[in-house]
Amino acid sequence: MITLHHCPQTRSMRSLWLLHELGVEFDVQTYAFDKSLRDPAYLLKSPAGRVPALEIDGEALFETGAITEVLCERFSPDGLGRPAGHPERVQWLIWVHFAETITQHSAALTQQHVALREDHMRSPIVMKLEAARIGKCYAALEARLTGRDYLLDGGFSAADVSVGQAVYLARFFAHLDAFPAVAAWYSRITARAGFKASLPGKDTLFKGTFFAPWELPA
């Protein structure tokens, strides 16, 4: 049995989307975005107290890139995955893990806009820098996706899931308007049933649809 430990609108959505795409049976244990992830029992599954954690065959996995590789190797090596020796293996690995390059900037902005409770704790400089860095990531994706429907020439894969979820989070802080190839790809992949099934219900981390950089009050 597979159990995913998940917080809505966090990195664990990446694993949730992938599980839906794989069509395997799994359970989801949902947590609030709070100190419950520091519970000693949960730390045995994810020692840094983060989501996701994935339990499979009596073993607990953490880190989304590792979870993606393990699930694809087991359930869809030639479909959503690209096995060792496949001509697209290198590019598959690059883009699966590029998702975390994007997400580190979204995570910093989530801290600034959501986790910090007082205005004086927030940094306009950090907000502007991290939003600009997301733009750099969009530019890299634009170069890759121009002339392509998906990140790999062989078609939709877990690389699109990983990066697509990262862009889902990044769009709360940086628009896609200047990146038409990325916007078209994002519209294409988020029309999939697997993505829609991974979206949050009523309990959401973000209480708005966009968070722009701002200046501290004088």
φ/ψ (deg, to 5) at 56? -150, 125
For residue 202, being part of any structural domain is answered with no
Q: What is the mean pLDDT of each run of 10 residues along the chain (218 residues)?
A: 96 98 98 90 96 96 98 98 98 98 97 88 94 98 98 98 98 98 98 98 86 70
Q: What is the domain extent for residue 142?
A: 89-192
Query: What's the domain count of the chain?
Result: 2
Residue 188 and residue 96 in one domain: yes
Q: Is 48 left (phi over 0), alpha (psi -120 to 50) or beta?
A: alpha
The mean pLDDT of the chain is 95
CB atoms within 10 A of CB 211: 18
Same domain for 153 and 127: yes
- Residue 36 contacts residue 25 (beta carbons within 8 Å): no
- pLDDT of 156 reads 98
CB 54 within 8 A of CB 148: no
Tokens of 6: 């998940």
pLDDT for residue 207: 85
Q: Do 127 and 179 fall into the same domain? A: yes
Tell me the pLDDT tens digit for each residue of 50-69.
999 999 999 999 999 999 99
Tokens of 77: 């090596």
Within a domain: residue 201? no
Instruction: Look up residue 2 and give its two tokens.
Output: 């597979």
Dig out the tokens for 36 from the structure.
């419950």
Residues 94 and 71 in one domain: no
d(CA 110, CA 213): 12
141-170, pLDDT tens digit by residue?
999 999 999 999 999 999 999 999 999 999
Give the per-residue pLDDT at 217. 56
How confident is the model at residue 216, as a pLDDT? Answer: 56
